[in-house]
Structure 1
């Protein structure tokens, strides 16, 4: 009797604390945005405006759904907040399959379906005020708020065919979401490692150029991506590539030679040696190194440094001077119509993977060299996709 009642009260207080924490998170995000944003048309007043069509992916900090908003198909990137962690553990999980008909945001995602986060369990049993929960999440909340606000602020002002298009955002405490265009073919990582298809010939060169063009655009805006990798490169219907995920990106102060940031972030397997050693913040040159890793992945079909722990990659690349082995053109599987990877593209890859940051090419140079390959070998990709153009 009494024990069960106390348990319900504790869970209720924990959930109340989590909701308060979620409101704090939303306030953190609002603080990062300018007051001019308040009346912007991109604001989604309520996620009930969005019809959810299915789940695309899920990670530690968020989930991605396919949906429809104002007549357009969109990708919905939803940030997990303490309010979502705090719901009862015995409720139904959100559905991953496409629903038979339109569903409200709450029903489709099952806001009451979130398992109790470990920190909430301890908060429920040890504190009726939720203070333990909030105290333990201050740093995490600030980090989430900064990343969300940064990505929102950057996406709103980026306009390039090689950058994923921003559509809208919801800043409700329980529904922190970014809406972008939906790209039906998923990520480059999906293409290479789930569907196990390698781009070859003209498709390979075009996709490599698309990524370089997107990075060149970002650098022209004084933005360093800091987390360039295959899973952050999305494919449209014609297998054209767009750069996405700017939660770690930074606007560089002053000139291109100025320090980007005092901290480093990103994915270890794609990080430049100088960043892994802590000698440099992320720069245009470290983005170029990450691009070289992406090229290596596209050509070989392998996950970089697969099987190694993060500390092992840091030791090998950062301290021992090891690097990914650039293949020779004759080592690669051939395809109809010519070699699968032009030698010049392999040369670009090798230069991007140089351990000396000063010797890595700028993306404008990479684009020129890839255009030379296309001009010399006739590697021109039509604007519409056909069976022969597919990887």
Structure 2
């Protein structure tokens, strides 16, 4: 498909065109569309949504997400710059993250993360997510691939866009439940129990508490450099997460020490009302041992595969 010219709105009243030749290659393919690297007053990320802009229900949902982006401005949240609101081409334009995803950091550079760095990264995520939740914005797809890390700063991206996934997939649905690798690890039990081929992604019970559960998985990745239950098939994970049996085994096997285990246990609580909000989580992270203090367990240190 040819790359379109885009008329970008900085506000609901003003707009400006971006010629097609300012859009570079696709950076990533998401549930809801493609992210292009582009140039518009500097380098930007252009999220082209693959939805029917002529469908009024779809357009209304898209405009709601744009409004969420427009009301955010925080150092740990991706910077909104504009949106294309004219069908058939719908897009959200943000600053371009120069760093790498946290997914890559913990797997490729994990040996460089000491406990102070892990705590700082986790605190930045909690601060950014607390800000979004204070504005009643649910991320719905919080994972290490949607968190960027550059020059000691965390930036959370793609919040809210997962709500568009069911619209994108509408008409492509069949009797097979498609589960991307690693996705189950971020999903709270109440979401996993509702999953089926007949239920669209945007109909799943995402909530602020579900975002907290997803943060728990990222915090686990920071400690051990991978998802929990990595080598198990998706069907087994679904049962273990949905029944919450897997959490106890994961925590016992990880042997991460009292303080880290308490945070993970709280985030991964089987009942959503028992999970903390991001405000008390910030206090829990602040109380973690520092590198220059005696640790409760050596598991707080990063262990390289060697």
Task: Compute the TM-score of the two structures, normalised by the length of structure 2.
Answer: 0.71
**In the alignment, what sits opposite 1:204?**
118
1:76/1:180 contact within 8 Å kept: yes
1:47/1:175 contact within 8 Å kept: no
**In the alignment, what sits opposite 2:201?**
none
In structure 2, relative to structure 1, the CA distance for the partners of 1:184 and 1:346 (3 Å cut) is farther
Give, in whole Å, the separation in 2 of the partners of 1:142 and 1:378: 58
Structure 1 segment 94-133 matched on structure 2, within 5 A: none
List gaps (5 residues or longer) in structure 2. Answer: 165-179, 196-203, 294-306
**In the alignment, what sits opposite 1:45?**
17
Structure 1 segment 83-162 matched on structure 2, within 5 A: 145=59, 148-162=62-76
The offset of 1:343, in angstroms, is: 4.7
Report how many aligned residue pairs link the two structures: 261
In structure 2, relative to structure 1, the CA distance for the partners of 1:361 and 1:169 (3 Å cut) is same
**In the alignment, what sits opposite 1:268?**
184
Measured on the aligned residues, the alpha-carbon RMSD in Å equals: 3.7
- Deviation track 1:205-224 (CA, whole Å, cap 9, x = no partner) reads 11000111111112212222
1:163/1:214 contact within 8 Å kept: yes
**In the alignment, what sits opposite 2:222?**
298
Task: Compute the TM-score of the two structures, normalised by the length of structure 1.
Answer: 0.57
In structure 2, relative to structure 1, the CA distance for the partners of 1:142 and 1:302 (3 Å cut) is farther
**In the alignment, what sits opposite 2:277?**
362
**In the alignment, what sits opposite 1:244?**
157
Which residue of 194, 210, 213 corresponds with 1:286? Answer: 210
Give, in whole Å, the separation in 2 of the partners of 1:305 and 1:174: 42
- For the pair shown, which has the larger CA radius of gyration, 1 or 2? 1
The offset of 1:328, in angstroms, is: 7.5
Give, in whole Å, the separation in 1 of the partners of 2:81 and 2:11: 14
> Which has the larger share of strand?
2
In structure 2, relative to structure 1, the CA distance for the partners of 1:309 and 1:144 (3 Å cut) is farther
Matched, 1:218 2:132: yes
Secondary structure of 2:92's counterpart equals strand
Give, in whole Å, the separation in 2 of the partners of 1:309 and 1:47: 45
The offset of 1:244, in angstroms, is: 1.6
Give, in whole Å, the separation in 2 of the partners of 1:284 and 1:69: 33
- Deviation track 1:44-73 (CA, whole Å, cap 9, x = no partner) reads 43444x723443222454221222212x22
Matched, 1:325 2:255: no
